[in-house]
Amino acid sequence: MAKTIMVYPIKSVLAYGDTISKESGKLLEELTAKTGYVFKLVGLDELSKGDLPLILVQSGGSEGFFKRDIFPVFKGPYYLLTYGSSNSLAASLEILSFVKEQDKKGEVLHGDNSYIAERLKALIAEKKSSATPAARLGVVGEPSDWLISSDVDHAKARDIFNIDLVDVKEEKILELIKKHHEKVPAGELKAEFDPSELEKAYDIYEALKELCAEEQFAGFTLRCFDIIKAVKMSACLGLSLMNRDGIIASCEGDVPAMITAYSILKCLGVHAFQANPNWIDPVKNELTLAHCTLPLDMADSYQFDTHFESGIGVGIHGVMKKGDVTIVKVGSSLNEFYCEEGTILENQYRKDRCRTQIVVALNAPVTYFLKSSLGNHHQVIYGHHKAELKAYFESLGLREIEG
pLDDT tens profile 347-373: 998 887 778 899 999 999 999 999 999
Residue % of the chain over a pLDDT of 70? 88
147 pLDDT more than 60: no
Q: How would CATH label the architecture of 4-130? A: 3-Layer(aba) Sandwich (3.40)
67 pLDDT more than 50: yes
CA distance linking residue 208 with residue 141, whole number of Å? 13
**C-alpha 285, offset from chain centre:** 25
pLDDT of residue 18: 43
pLDDT of residue 16: 43
CA distance linking residue 331 with residue 398, whole number of Å? 10
pLDDT tens profile 281-296: 999 999 999 998 999 9
CA distance linking residue 35 with residue 116, whole number of Å? 10
185 pLDDT more than 80: no
- pLDDT averaged over every residue in the chain: 86
Q: Phi, psi (5° rounding) for residue 258?
A: -65, -45
pLDDT of residue 235: 84
Per-domain residue ranges for the chain?
Answer: 4-130, 135-400
Number of H helices, E strands in the chain: 12, 18
Among the residue ranges 79-93, 140-154, 370-384, the one predicted with the least confidence is 140-154
pLDDT of residue 325: 98
pLDDT tens profile 75-127: 889 999 998 778 889 999 999 999 988 888 899 999 999 999 999 988 887 77
Tell me what the mean pLDDT of segment 10-16 comes to.
Answer: 62
Strand partners, 339: 328
Residue % of the chain over a pLDDT of 90? 53
pLDDT of residue 15: 40
pLDDT of residue 363: 96
13 or 158, higher pLDDT: 158
Question: What is the residue type of 302?
Answer: Y
- Cβ neighbours for 365, distance < 8 A, ≥ 6 positions apart: 282, 285, 403
191 pLDDT more than 60: no
Tell me what the mean pLDDT of segment 22-39 comes to.
Answer: 90
Tell me what the mean pLDDT of segment 54-70 comes to.
Answer: 90
CA 259 vs CA 143, 151, 265, 345: distances in Å: 14, 12, 10, 27
Tell me what the mean pLDDT of segment 210-215 comes to.
Answer: 94
